[in-house]
Structure 1
């Protein structure tokens, strides 16, 4: 099975931490030419420095994926610099402070709007702008197991991830004839700063309790999700599109 990414120009959002960071590192190790972006400029600079020190070809851009114009400018710059864009991993995402606390009737509207703007509209912007004049081989979007089920006290995140699944499948239907594949990943409980931040006494979320009912009985590693992203970006998955790949230790089995 081919996993060759050497010389491929690939864009990654949400690359400063967690799954995005692990994906950027893995892509660099496999020879990709990287354009990575994140809203956290300081953390992004650290990742760029680490990757460059390992010999990777990488540029970093502070980017708010909610801003369609800025997303378009970023992608245009990539194509002008590298001559093409072979793949994109749209991994930027957030979980709000009301997750695990607020019912729908009490959920702050501003937070609901913010989560959908980043998780859903951000991916819409990347999909829409990424297709302008480019012929990407593969696009991978960040969904979640929360895109397949309902979760109490988690309405905004769940709604946003259901939307990502719908966008992914719709884009795959539209792009198939152009040779562009569009898939999504659906991580379960992964050991990232975002997930660790949910595990507090005041939230109706307990990581250990969740892990205890999973067949593999442990947290996932960011690198285990990154492996799936890299596979979806490479030619080894050439007949895979419109799919949602769970990486959840069997949670959804």
Structure 2
């Protein structure tokens, strides 16, 4: 098993890519903390993992709340005695608004979940990893963190910020046996679209121009395979990278 004796937290684990990552990590031997704002969904994932012989526990987490993040990490340590991997997967979309249509409340909400929440999660994780002497961070970012035509202004800016945060963290702790990498998925079949409200007609029309050249949509399980590689020792020489998983979309 590729993650035998490892302990991993996966945020946004109740559905989509987070669900696929949590399930694959458990299948490969990790003890998993399945974190999500949707506790019922996270518990269902944990039940499935246990039915298949895996080890997991669920916790309700609003990643925009620092106390919730701390409780999530505390549970991992109390339950399993250590933490090896954190997968920051939870995220929300905007409504494709270009900057001229951005609403302050939506901007603040998107950043609180997609950027500030990830930073605070990484801050807690890094201090645990420094004390332990090892640790791996995997940030599920988005093709929107690499390019400007995949979403609205708020989402795009929030994900670009996490790209920088990922690279900076990798550099800062490269000599401390802490690795930090990111995944930039293209269009993947998840329910993140349910977080999109008050859609911008202009923004959606412009964004659709890029969708036309997407070779195909991806499945959550395909992203989970990359998250497994980046979380495992197989990627021990990879640090500070954001790997696109988009069927060649970004090659156009």
Whether TM exceeds 0.5 here: the answer is yes
List per-residue Cα deviations over 1:171-217 (Å, max 9, x = no partner).
1011111101000000001111124876x996725998755413xx2
Query: Structure 1 length as normaliser, TM-score?
Result: 0.90
Look up the match of 2:54. 56
Look up the match of 1:92. 90
Alpha-carbon distance, 1:32 to partner: 0.8
Contact 2:14-2:41 at 8 Å conserved across structures: yes
Look up the match of 1:115. 110
Look up the match of 2:126. 131
Look up the match of 2:16. 18
Contact 2:92-2:195 at 8 Å conserved across structures: no
Counterpart secondary structure, 1:133: helix
Counterpart secondary structure, 1:132: helix
Counterpart secondary structure, 1:89: strand
Q: C-alpha root-mean-square deviation of aligned residues, in Å? A: 2.3
Query: Structure 2 length as normaliser, TM-score?
Result: 0.90
List per-residue Cα deviations over 1:100-151 (Å, max 9, x = no partner).
3x33122211011100000001110110011223334311012111111213
Counterpart secondary structure, 1:10: strand
CA distance in 2, matches of 1:60, 1:34: 8
5+ long unaligned stretches in structure 1: none
Alpha-carbon distance, 1:78 to partner: 1.1
CA distance in 2, matches of 1:164, 1:93: 11
Alpha-carbon distance change, 123 to 195 in structure 1, aligned in 2, over 3 angstroms: same
Look up the match of 2:213. 213
Of 103, 107, 114, 2:98 maps to 103
CA distance in 2, matches of 1:213, 1:103: 21
Contact 2:151-2:207 at 8 Å conserved across structures: no
Q: Report how many aligned residue pairs link the two structures.
A: 246
5+ long unaligned stretches in structure 2: none
Counting only pairs closer than 5 Å after superposition, residues 1-253 of structure 1 correspond to structure 2 as 4-96=2-94, 99-100=95-96, 102-134=97-129, 135=132, 136-151=134-149, 154-195=152-193, 204=204, 210=210, 212-214=212-214, 217-253=215-251
The structure with the largest helix share of the pair is 2
